A and B are shown apart, each in its own frame.
Chain A
Amino acid sequence: VSDGAARFLSPDEVEWEGNEAGYQPFLSPADERAAAGLGAGDASALVDALADGERFVKAHVGLTRLSGVEYESFPTWNGLELALHADGDVSIDAEQRARLAHRWRQWLSSDPRPDRLPPA
């Protein structure tokens, strides 16, 4: 794992908002600083982290920022399916991580890299 990816993939969880655009992720201040320091060389490590059920959400958020791809915010957040409940709790099914990892690998191996994450 690259240093940048290791710093970014700290145990701090991603928090989610629901707003007019749809879903929006929020990182802790430390993760925000780490995200700002991510570089192209960290992409492979983030894709590898998609296999980890505890870290795949943050890895997906980091890749979305790093790549600069256009993405939707609703009904999924750049392909990530989640549920924001009325009481504020968030549910995310970790089973989807393999699907996301496949899409990011496709994106990473494309030349030129597409503006959007390839479809599942």
Chain B
Amino acid sequence: MRSEVQRRQSAADPAVVSERVPTPAPRELAPASDPASVLALQRGVGNRAVGKLLRARAGLRAPRLQRKLTATGDAAGFAAFANRVIAVQQEVVVSGSGEVSLRPTDIQGPPTPEAAELVRVLQLVIADTNNVSIEFIHGLTSTRASDARVLGGSFPQSKVDLDDEEARGTQGAVGVGMGVTGGALLVHEILEQYRKQAFSEDFDTAHAAALTAEGTAIGAPRGASTSRSVNATTDEVTTTYTYPDGRVVEVMWDVTANNISNVRRRVVRPGRGTP
């Protein structure tokens, strides 16, 4: 004979029934003659059994841990650089399996613009259910041919060259308002990979979004950027940044074998109100 509760479950929205019949903890089980307790026990045992059966059929022993952002390669190097960028309030932690997370610290103080934007982008990527994986390399010492194609990052290879980002420094080191920094470019590369891997965006769309985030981190949009060959092996890249107060900063660097060196900065025009 079916009880009143069992009839409701079979006829109505199971979720509604579930609210009306909370599952008690095992040690609090009422006597088996209580229809609600019997139903709860039946559902709890049944759900576990079904879950076990499905996992067995799928060849899984236990539920898989879902990773949102995974750092491979020199994950510790990534965390170290990111934490020099962030510096206050929060820090990046990378687990042994490469899972990236943020946790609060007791180091107080205002974050730089690049720190605030890096934290925002990391929070965005970590909170998304899509998995994003980025390999962090060192272009100066890597002997892999594919790494020689990485300049700052590589869209198709999902790589970031920490040496190239280190070469541009952080706002804590070069100052705020001095054009592009490695922290801003780390923001760029992470967001670009997120857009590619989570939304299958082409380079032009993902790169444009990354440029916007980079501009927020710098405090000024990336302006005209030109390249010219200095000699057979080296190109010189020049990029200008115009800040809201009219300040114009030019940043130049050399690119040899796709590695960045000799970064130079100069204020082309001071901002309004600058003595």
Contact = CB atoms under 8 A, between A and B. Distances in A.
B215 to A, nearest CB: 13
A18 B225 contact: no
Nearest to A36: B232
A36 B202 CA distance: 32
Interface in A61-83: 65, 68-75, 83
Nearest to A78: B227
B20 to A, nearest CB: 47
A68 B229 contact: yes
A26 B189 CA distance: 20
A70 B155 contact: no
Interface in A34-87: 36, 65, 68-75, 83-87
A119 interface: no
A112 interface: no
B149 A18 contact: no
Contacts of A84: 155-156, 202-204
Given A84-B204, A86-B200, A19 B228 contact: no
B138 interface: no
A21 interface: yes
Contact of B227 (A26, A71, A86, A87): A71
Contact of B153 (A20, A65, A83): A20
B245 interface: no
Contacts, number: 76
A24 interface: yes
A18 B209 CA distance: 14
Q: On chain B, which size bracket covers the interface?
A: 20 to 34
A21 B237 CA distance: 9
A20 B202 contact: no
Contacts of B221: none
Interface in B194-211: 196-197, 200-204, 206-208
A18 B207 contact: yes
B226 interface: yes
Given A19-B151, A19-B153, A21-B237, A86 B229 contact: no
Nearest to A66: B229
Interface string A12-28: 00000111111110100
Contact of A73 (B200, B227, B232): B227
6 contacts: A17-B149, A21-B152, A21-B227, A26-B149, A70-B226, A73-B227
Given A19-B153, A84-B155, 16 more contacts: A17-B154, A19-B149, A19-B150, A19-B152, A20-B152, A20-B188, A21-B225, A24-B151, A69-B228, A70-B228, A73-B225, A73-B227, A74-B207, A74-B225, A75-B204, A86-B206
